[in-house]
Structure 1
């Protein structure tokens, strides 16, 4: 006999026929767009977890700051996933608007630390930066999936705004991680300049 008592089984068999339950008990198909949306959030969270583990290998002073940011992002993604899984808002969860301001501030701070760009950047470089690019592209797909849900069943606006900002965060984080690793960025130039400095907000140190 297990001295710790009976353990809950991970598998239940209830989903063997393609059904699952939302928060509150409503049964839906696993192919339902809502399930796809919060399942995609879970996938993104796992990618962020991998990114955090790779950043942990860094020996720079910025490591802990980045890890703290990624940990907060993971908690925010879990919040968003819970909100999406709760069709009737039975838990009464709302996304914290201050998190949008926080990630915007972090984007601005990271932008100050990297060079300006005129061309698209090829994903790659250091493994941490490459994983940040993967997180960026997965975020874009997650955003599209949640928007599809929003077209069918309205989703609160704050999570949509946050996901849009999050992909920008991973882009500039990838650039910063390459800078820390002293990896040179590779530009895609065939389309010509796509970012023009006169169209972008000036940095604080610019006149």
Structure 2
């Protein structure tokens, strides 16, 4: 169980932070940038939920929980030591990726195929979901960059890749199943 009884610790005042294994690293390290942007993605999902209800809200709540799992995964290096750990670290699983794929397929089946790129917008929920998409793409890029230098859980990258697709499909659903999508008109303002 997590117990937080003091918000500030002063341990980061010199520009370092602790990872999940206790190691201290610079706050601008690739690993901290990756899981920090996952946290930022989670905050954008919280904003989207202000406009969601029913099944969409429930799915977004599940994604928020997954994003905390992902942050915990990314803040814990040394995957090769997982088996020897007293408390095995939390890792994103292929089942979480597969759940996103199943939901994407279900949403996409209800949509007409696109004949144009769409602009982020339409309903308030769709606009927020497109913001979630772009922030999750940044988290993915930073996580892929981290993976070039350190070993990470491959399911973490897969999850982020599917997540941005999930947000795209959900944004279309939020726009009256795509009927209210805002279409890009190439060169419209020349």
TM-score normalised by the chain length of structure 2 = 0.87
CA contact (8 A) 1:139 1:167 kept: yes
* Partner deviation per Cα, 1:51-82 (whole Å, 9 max, x = no partner): 11221xxxxxxx32111111111111111110
Identify the structure with bigger relative contact order (alpha carbons < 8 Å, sequence gap 6+): 2
| Structure 2 segments unaligned to the other structure (5+ residues) | 80-84
User: 3-state DSSP class of the match of 2:50?
Assistant: helix
* Partner deviation per Cα, 1:100-143 (whole Å, 9 max, x = no partner): 11111111111122221121101111111100000000011100
Matched, 1:186 2:176: no
How many aligned positions are there? Answer: 177
Matched, 1:32 2:32: no
User: 3-state DSSP class of the match of 1:179?
Assistant: coil
Q: For the residues of structure 2 that align with 1:20 and 1:92, how far apart are their CA atoms? A: 18
Matched, 1:142 2:129: no
Deviation, 1:190, is 2.2
CA contact (8 A) 2:77 2:151 kept: no
Residue 93 of structure 2, aligned match among 88, 92, 96: 96
Q: For the residues of structure 2 that align with 1:142 and 1:123, how far apart are their CA atoms? A: 19
User: 3-state DSSP class of the match of 2:25?
Assistant: strand
Q: For the residues of structure 2 that align with 1:16 and 1:92, how far apart are their CA atoms? A: 27
CA contact (8 A) 1:125 1:183 kept: no
* Partner deviation per Cα, 1:13-71 (whole Å, 9 max, x = no partner): 1111101111121111101110111111110011111111221xxxxxxx321111111
Residue 22 of structure 1, aligned match among 19, 30, 39: 19
**Correspondence for 2:74:** 84
Deviation, 1:187, is 1.6
Larger Rg: 1
**Correspondence for 2:119:** 122
**Correspondence for 1:74:** 64
TM-score normalised by the chain length of structure 1 = 0.80
Q: For the residues of structure 1 that align with 2:41 and 2:182, how far apart are their CA atoms? A: 25
